[in-house]
Chains A and B, each alone.
Chain A
Amino acid sequence: MATATDATAGETHVGKEKKKKAPKRYWQDTKADGEGEPEDRNYKKVQRETKTSKNKPVRKKTRIHGTQEKKFISGKKDPFPGPAPVPEEKLRKFRRGQPFNQVSGNFFPIRNIGKQDIYSYILKHANESSTLATNRAARFDLLLPEDAGFLEADEGEDTCAIRQEDIAEAVDITSATKYFNLSLTQFGPYRLDYTRNGRHLLLGGRRGHVSCFDWHSKQLMCEINVMETVNDVKWLHSEAMFAVAQKKWLYIYDSTGIELHCIRRFNDVLRMQFLPYHFLLATASATGFLQYLDVSVGKEVATTCTKSGRLDVMAQNPYNAVIHLGHPTGTVTLWSPNQRTPLVKMLCHRGGVRSIAVDKTGTYMVTSGLDRKLKVFDIRAFQPLHSYFLPAGASCLSLSQKGLLSACTGDIVQVYKDVFNTPVKKPYMAHRVRGAVWGAQFCPFEDVLGIGHAEGFTSLIIPGAGEPNFDGLDANPYRSVKQRQEWEVKALLEKVQPELISLDPDRLCEVDRATWEQKHQERVKRLGYDPLAKEKFMPRYKAKGRSSSGNVEKRKKQVAHEDQRDLIRKSVEEKMAKEKELKEKKAEQGKTSALDRFKK
């Protein structure tokens, strides 16, 4: 070995004869190698090319910093110079708000260490660090271990024709066990609820049967009969407690089935929703009351009489914790505990509303009504997006983490894909259960849809429904007891106060301009002058007779004119930019026809 290395070393030192080439790598251009040019010249050439071809459309490169290559001492070029590029759509996912781009002026000028300059300095650094954080988070996406599931049909076959048995046969044993059927014919029909980490399942039969179990391991935690009608069941913040809306009162049980509380202030509850970050249990009752219970301190936070009769359609917006209620008049109302009247009241259907579902980003709401329509709304703009007609109408809508929609008509469960963006022609999957569907919910972080019906419970495999990568600090299906306890303490410490529930949860980090202006006006009134007003220009005293009053006036005017010119220049520039935009738009639209003049 030693001799061989010596020989090669000698060759490189002499370097006159034929050079031994390194094996070609996949990123090296074949042509450039063939010419055998020194790399330095090659580098220049590339630069020149980029200079000359400024106007021409440059071929898109995967690397932005392609031309500025760093060189090593050995003469080799770094094939991937600069920071790794991050695709724009990924960056957009992690971006929060717009960067602040009004940072101007010199920081810490010589004399004035006023507040203005310090804040612009702070803002500049905040901008930089937020871009850094965005880039890091977007890059971290690469390291996520799991991929989402999918289902693709063969040619000529439809995915909705694929039966659950076929899927269970095709997938691995562990996944196959996720398709199962619990035949509970005695106490049906069943409502159900999964915990936030998707590990535990709670079933509540109409005729009083309540049971909860770890459905991964199929381990039963408790099974009781409350000997009363059960309207709805809901897990509280963890798998240790759950709430059951019974015939008259609301009850809270622990996971071993022991009754912890009977809350007599909450009567005739039909539907419940739990707001996990606020520790609030929202209930809708047959008497038309919407009530909020703070489960961390056991206090009733708000009681609202909706004055719209029996409330049996309820959903929560996971993005802003606003409660959506559906009414027999076809309206959907949005509620927060801070307001006696609905935040929003929108007419969605001709007949009564049967079911509501809201997606996790808080952008879309799906409703179905007695008019047999299924509608998709944009609830940021409160505008309808799509409307579908289902022959039998749909009940029990549920949205999965990846945006799949399940709609149940009678005993048939249909799952739709991409309902938000494109009009859907046919379902992604379909399945018939034994009895009429009473409750449906996608299991978080799993490709599973749970169906509660008259004959028991069915767990269906819906590939591509669940979020593949969970966040261990938020909802971890594999957490240990210790981890759960720690999570519970932390979650309680950062419990969001119910006063903060509003349509826009990020409102808290925005500048309250109205209050600021009001305060400023008060201050001006108190001081007798505006402290933030621009200082009046006072010309400096100049020696040697150049401070005659005429001269001073002249200088004042000069400054005033300059300010004015700046203003004018700005407005002209804006105007030009607008015109240019208009022109481009017109050019894009193509030729104009004679009839265009009649268009508005």
Chain B
Amino acid sequence: MKVKVLCRNPDDYVRETSKDLQRVPRNYDPTLNPFEVPREYARALNATKLDRVFAKPFIAALDGHRDGVNCMAKLPTSLSTLLSGSCDGEVKVWNLPTRKCLHTVQAHEGFVRGMCVRFCGTSFFTTGDDKTIKQWKMEAPGYGEEEEPLNMILGKTVYTGIDHHWKEGTFATCGQQVDIWDEERSSPIRTFTWGVDSVSCVRFNPIEAKLLASCASDRSIVLYDMRESAPLQKVIMKLRSNALCWNPMEAYIFTCANEDYNLYTYDMRQLSSPVVVHSDHVSAVLDVDYSPTGKEFVSASFDKTIRIFPKHQTRSREVYHTKRMQHVICVKWSMDNKYVMTGSDEMNIRLWKANASEKLGLLTPREKQAQNYSQKLKDKFQHHPQIRRIARHRHLPKNIYNLRKEMHIMKEARRRKELNVRKHSKPGSVPFVPERKKHVVTVVE
């Protein structure tokens, strides 16, 4: 007779001293862990609920400006510094970790219209209502010194926007025309005009660094190549765009913030229709900025909210608002992909988390692992009705909530009307026009 009976040595399963970690032998046999799916579902549900419990996105408000914040600029080289320009011509340099103003410059008379930081992060440019472009040092002046601009260019017209090249010492301004400047010269090296209207925003492409895009008040978005003498292409939309931002990871994608409450993501090579129409705002969208990963962007709107959109989705994943925040004029996404900064009408700059329920600070490896695991579970079960309902739920101010309802009713009425028209006309005479193609008027080469 040969016999073996299961006999375990308890020393193999119990820790030796109370200082040791507990031993947890594992066996991944699926029959020993039944109800895998229902249990994972329960975990996903808990994780989703906790996500909403811990969703506290507001971090801080930086106050100090004496008029509405009109523009902001982030540094490509430093995470902790932020520049902001207000409607009374003041520019403030902020230290974000301490939430303090490092120094203040009275840069212009009237509005600070545009601001950008040189790619090296040592100086910045501002334009204002006083028809000047000024270059300033980033550091505060020494004791007893007067704050003086490094450079000043006096123009003939007001410059409404400015952006710096990402690699070279050139910058672009916009106003009645788009000018390309060399930092060394006091006259533009190139001037682009197409039509006579005023241009509100100009942006360099971060990857294809010679390319620019601008949006003008004649409802057009114009693409330029710095090396050519004439603009490349122009797309005219139903309403005008206020701002635009290039995707930092995909050279050919940009998103523009439009007056018609929507944002449009375009492929530069195919301007005849936008790739995605992002709609959730209930008032004009004023500013947009991409996350450094290029997967999401944040938009600021006149309806006193900011929203975060995934780049390929039509609906926003997040909406931030507070009682005190008024019309949001400018917004920036920090370079570490963690924070969002907003500047609004009521003179405050607000700091938000990009991911509302994220835990700040260092995480232990186990914490990180648990977070990754719950994130995966949330993704896996995100389409289940119970979980989706909780994950999607956001509180909205009453007026925005009502406006949204109203917009929905209007949209539904338009759709119904079109359906009825189609029903009572000759087949094929009322074509289906997809939502994407409804907002573009023409493309001009």
Q: Does B394 touch A at the CB level, under 8 Å?
A: no
Partner of A505, one of B6, B35, B276, B380: B35
Q: Does B144 touch A at the CB level, under 8 Å?
A: no
Q: Does A147 touch B at the CB level, under 8 Å?
A: yes
* Interface range on chain A (Cβ under 8 Å from partner): 35 or more
Bitwise interface map of B from 115 to 155 toward A, beta carbon under 8 Å scored 1, else 0: 00000000000000000000000000000000000000000
Within the assembled complex, what's the spacing in Å between the Cα atoms of A154 and B37? 46
* Known contacts A494-B39, A494-B46, A482 near B1 by CB under 8 Å: no
Minimum CB distance partner of A275 in chain B:
B35
Partner of B35, one of A157, A174, A496: A496
Q: Does B17 touch A at the CB level, under 8 Å?
A: no
* Known contacts A111-B269, A505-B38, A472 near B4 by CB under 8 Å: no
A149 touches B30 (CB 8 A): no
- Residues of chain A from 406 to 451 with CB closer than 8 A to chain B in the complex: 445-447
- Residues of chain B from 2 to 55 with CB closer than 8 A to chain A in the complex: 2-8, 10, 12-14, 22-39, 41-43, 46
Bitwise interface map of A from 459 to 495 toward B, beta carbon under 8 Å scored 1, else 0: 0010100111111111111101011000000000111
Chain A to chain B contacts (Cβ below 8 Å), 8 pairs: A140-B28, A147-B4, A360-B31, A361-B31, A471-B28, A471-B32, A493-B43, A509-B37
Partner of B42, one of A153, A470, A494: A494
Q: Does A137 touch B at the CB level, under 8 Å?
A: yes
Chain B residues near A505 (CB-CB < 8 A): 34-38
Q: Does B209 touch A at the CB level, under 8 Å?
A: no
Partner of A113, one of B7, B312, B415: B312
B38 touches A149 (CB 8 A): no
Within the assembled complex, what's the spacing in Å between the Cα atoms of A508 and B422? 41
Chain A residues near B267 (CB-CB < 8 A): 111
* Known contacts A113-B312, A154-B1, A471-B26, A172 near B39 by CB under 8 Å: no
B10 touches A167 (CB 8 A): no
- Residues of chain B from 338 to 382 with CB closer than 8 A to chain A in the complex: 380
Chain A residues near B35 (CB-CB < 8 A): 277, 321, 496, 505
Q: Is the interface of A mostly helix, strand, loop or mixed?
A: loop
Could you list 15 further interchain pairs (A-B, Cβ under 8 angstroms) beyond the known A111-B269, A476-B25? Answer: A110-B269, A113-B275, A146-B6, A150-B2, A151-B3, A171-B4, A277-B39, A361-B31, A467-B32, A468-B6, A470-B27, A472-B26, A473-B26, A480-B14, A505-B37
Within the assembled complex, what's the spacing in Å between the Cα atoms of A308 and B13? 48
B24 touches A171 (CB 8 A): no
Q: Does B60 touch A at the CB level, under 8 Å?
A: no
Q: Does B399 touch A at the CB level, under 8 Å?
A: no
Q: Does B270 touch A at the CB level, under 8 Å?
A: yes
Partner of A144, one of B3, B27, B37: B27
B1 touches A153 (CB 8 A): yes
Chain A residues near B13 (CB-CB < 8 A): 472, 476-478
Partner of A478, one of B4, B10, B38, B384: B10
Instruction: Give the distance to chain B from A592, nearest Cβ to Cβ, in Å.
Output: 44
* Known contacts A157-B1, A496-B42, A505-B34, A473 near B269 by CB under 8 Å: no
Q: Does A558 touch B at the CB level, under 8 Å?
A: no
Q: Does A170 touch B at the CB level, under 8 Å?
A: yes
Chain A residues near B34 (CB-CB < 8 A): 277, 318-319, 360, 505
* Known contacts A471-B27, A509-B37, A178 near B42 by CB under 8 Å: no
Instruction: Give the distance to chain A from B98, nearest Cβ to Cβ, in Å.
Output: 39
Bitwise interface map of A from 485 to 517 toward B, beta carbon under 8 Å scored 1, else 0: 000000001111100100001111100000000
Instruction: Give the distance to chain B from A304, nearest Cβ to Cβ, in Å.
Output: 21
A446 touches B6 (CB 8 A): yes
Instruction: Give the distance to chain B from A26, nearest Cβ to Cβ, in Å.
Output: 29
Q: Does B413 touch A at the CB level, under 8 Å?
A: no
Q: Does B189 touch A at the CB level, under 8 Å?
A: no
Chain B residues near A493 (CB-CB < 8 A): 42-43, 46
Within the assembled complex, what's the spacing in Å between the Cα atoms of A319 and B37? 12
A152 touches B1 (CB 8 A): yes
Chain B residues near A241 (CB-CB < 8 A): none
